[in-house]
Chain A
Amino acid sequence: MRILNASGCLDALAAPEVARELDAFVTKTVTPLPREGSAPPRIAETAQGMLNAIGLANPGRERFLGEHLPRLHELGVSLWVSVGGFCADDYAETCSRLADIEAIELNLSCPNVDEAAHSAAEIVSACRRATELPLYAKLSAAHPDVADVARAVAAAGADGLSLINTLRAVALDKELRPVLARGSGGLSGPALKPIALYAVGVCQEATGLPIVGMGGIQNGRDALEFAACGARDVALGTVLFADPGAPARVRAELATACADAAVATPDDARTLAKSPETERKVPA
């Protein structure tokens, strides 16, 4: 099991020593044009969670490719580039310009943009024609049937899935007004974990694709639970804010959690979970 960061939860150029502790670094989502992002306040703490409305702030495709990506390569960390856009051509054009990276993650699920995106499968299909790099589709668990979306993007040529993105939510201040200037934001943190485990389980069953599981992972035991539900790898998001040492810590805890669960590796947790005695206890 490899440990990545959730897109948008780490700036490898600002904190290279944190990025180097990851098995791969996932960039913040890159859109065709620069985006300044949402007005502040952009974040709020909630019960067992955090809201953000960053709004895909990023330097835009040209500056990312010309300035940021070369500097990221110098870090010597495996790179995933998160690609965003507002139509299939946006995504495909960026994909066609990427090379020498490990994988592309297609952000099909940002809760903080208003522009309507094309359907997930259509975007994946366009990107598939534009690149031979591995394509991971990052999906939202807000869809009534996320496994259905997973099947569609798999048929369109996705090589893997990233599950899940934040969920749209609102927090109010003392005067009962939204804390975030944008009004709503994306909910992350431990509150998401049960939702993410479910999505990982049903999407793995539906597609058999490799999955990067994320959503509220705080420790090694959480990571092992994602493995038990079918995630091959995991990504850390909100936990990085409180603990930039989380990648190494979670990796160490994962070994202990495996021993406690009497499995040799995280992958064996899936096998155990799918064994006849325990199968009915896990999703999908």
Chain B
Amino acid sequence: MQSSGWPSRHRVTASERLGPYTLLRLERGGVEPGVPGQFFMLEAPGRLLPRPFSVCLAPPGELAFLVDVVGPGTEAIASVERGDELAIFGPLGNGYRLDVERPLLVGGGIGIAPLPYLTEQLGGSPPVVLGFRSGKHAEAAALLPGAEVVVDPVLVTELIEPGFDVMACGPEPMLRAVAAMCPEAQLAWEAPMACGYGACYGCVVEIDGALKRLCLEGPVLDAAGVHTAPEKAVA
């Protein structure tokens, strides 16, 4: 298990709306934010299982996660209020390799989540391209000032130019398209996940021809190694 310690409870300092998404800010306490692309399991109040979220922002003393409500678990998490406490566990999994020469960050929808922290950790101002399904969803682009943004029916993959080290996160069809264009790309996937630390065997994806646990092998994987994609995440 790559995380240090057990789940710990953290006070919510802010809950901000970004279009249909909710940016949840928590006191960091003694928890390290990890590498961009790594994730935390967040308690879903009133539910049995926690849900996985990549670190969106990690300013001093704080951790922020971007929540898209897709079911009862994410709804419970998006509904917590300032002053509430939430158990979190992480950082978990493997993040992006940061030793790239010409980074290009590609995000689709809620796949924008790990990119603000990734941008900060890469330093400088790497180019960012984002695609959203609607103008309302595109309000999340406020997290990445200067990013080039497109909205359906224009696809974000149309903005990818050759010669870049692509670092992407987004829905499965987008990641597949990116993988086809850029075999060297680093792709952050998601999968239904009950534990985040290799215990439940729920999050398997086909990697290098075998079903492997995304929480231990990923969630960031090299495009070349993935042959079948994870299914939709646990709502």
Residues of A whose CB lies within 8 Å of any CB of B are: 8-11, 14-18, 28, 36-37, 39-45, 48-50, 52, 54, 57, 181, 189-190, 238, 240-245
Q: Which residues in window 59-83 of B have CB below 8 A to A?
A: 72-73
Assembly CA distance A41 to B172 (angstroms): 14
- Indicate whether B132 reaches chain A with its CB closer than 8 angstroms: no
Nearest-Cβ distance from residue B212 to partner chain A, whole angstroms: 10
From B41, B191, B194, B198, contact of A40 by CB (8 A):
B191
Assembly CA distance A28 to B232 (angstroms): 26
With most chain A CB atoms within 10 A of its CB, the pick from B193, B203, B204, B231 is: B204
| CB-CB nearest in chain A for B6 | A245
Nearest-Cβ distance from residue B4 to partner chain A, whole angstroms: 10
Say whether B197 contacts A41, CB under 8 Å: no
Say whether A244 contacts B197, CB under 8 Å: yes
Assembly CA distance A113 to B7 (angstroms): 33
With known contacts A41-B231, A45-B48, A10–B202 Cβ distance under 8 A:
no
Nearest-Cβ distance from residue A215 to partner chain B, whole angstroms: 14
Assembly CA distance A57 to B234 (angstroms): 20
> For B230, what are the chain A residues with a Cβ–Cβ distance below 8 Å?
40
Interface of chain B, helix or strand or loop or mixed?
loop
Say whether A45 contacts B197, CB under 8 Å: no
> For B7, what are the chain A residues with a Cβ–Cβ distance below 8 Å?
242-245
> For A245, what are the chain B residues with a Cβ–Cβ distance below 8 Å?
6-7
> For A242, what are the chain B residues with a Cβ–Cβ distance below 8 Å?
7, 41, 43, 48-50, 194-195
Nearest-Cβ distance from residue B190 to partner chain A, whole angstroms: 12
Say whether B192 contacts A41, CB under 8 Å: yes
A-B contacts, CB under 8 A, total? 109
The list of the 6 closest CB pairs from A to B, nearest first, reads: A14-B198, A245-B6, A43-B202, A241-B195, A241-B194, A15-B1
From A8, A18, A54, A238, contact of B1 by CB (8 A):
A18
> For B204, what are the chain A residues with a Cβ–Cβ distance below 8 Å?
37, 40, 42, 57
Say whether B234 contacts A189, CB under 8 Å: no
Say whether A240 contacts B199, CB under 8 Å: yes
| CB-CB nearest in chain B for A14 | B198
- Indicate whether B133 reaches chain A with its CB closer than 8 angstroms: no
Say whether B49 contacts A57, CB under 8 Å: no
From B193, B199, B210, contact of A10 by CB (8 A):
B199
Nearest-Cβ distance from residue B42 to partner chain A, whole angstroms: 11
Contacts A41-B232, A42-B192, A57-B201 known; 4 new A-B pairs at CB < 8 A: A16-B1, A28-B201, A41-B202, A43-B192
Interface residues on chain B, number (Cβ under 8 Å): 34
Say whether A15 contacts B200, CB under 8 Å: no
Nearest-Cβ distance from residue A136 to partner chain B, whole angstroms: 21
From A14, A48, A50, contact of B194 by CB (8 A):
A50
Nearest-Cβ distance from residue A30 to partner chain B, whole angstroms: 14
Say whether B234 contacts A9, CB under 8 Å: no
Residues of B whose CB lies within 8 Å of any CB of A are: 1, 6-7, 41, 43, 47-50, 72-73, 87, 89, 191-195, 197-205, 210-211, 216, 230-232, 234
29 contacts between A and B (CB under 8 A): A8-B201, A10-B199, A11-B201, A14-B216, A15-B198, A15-B199, A36-B210, A37-B204, A40-B203, A40-B211, A40-B230, A41-B231, A43-B192, A43-B202, A45-B49, A50-B49, A54-B200, A54-B201, A238-B49, A240-B199, A241-B194, A241-B195, A241-B200, A242-B49, A243-B6, A244-B7, A244-B199, A245-B6, A245-B7
With known contacts A17-B1, A241-B194, A242-B48, A37–B199 Cβ distance under 8 A:
no
Say whether B197 contacts A14, CB under 8 Å: yes
Assembly CA distance A9 to B197 (angstroms): 11
With most chain A CB atoms within 10 A of its CB, the pick from B6, B7, B232 is: B6
Nearest-Cβ distance from residue A191 to partner chain B, whole angstroms: 9
> For A181, what are the chain B residues with a Cβ–Cβ distance below 8 Å?
231
Nearest-Cβ distance from residue B191 to partner chain A, whole angstroms: 7
With known contacts A40-B204, A48-B48, A52-B200, A240–B195 Cβ distance under 8 A:
yes
Nearest-Cβ distance from residue B143 to partner chain A, whole angstroms: 28
> For B87, what are the chain A residues with a Cβ–Cβ distance below 8 Å?
243
Say whether B49 contacts A241, CB under 8 Å: yes
| CB-CB nearest in chain B for A216 | B48
Say whether B1 contacts A45, CB under 8 Å: no
> For B48, what are the chain A residues with a Cβ–Cβ distance below 8 Å?
45, 48-50, 189-190, 238, 242
With known contacts A44-B234, A49-B48, A189-B48, A244–B195 Cβ distance under 8 A:
yes
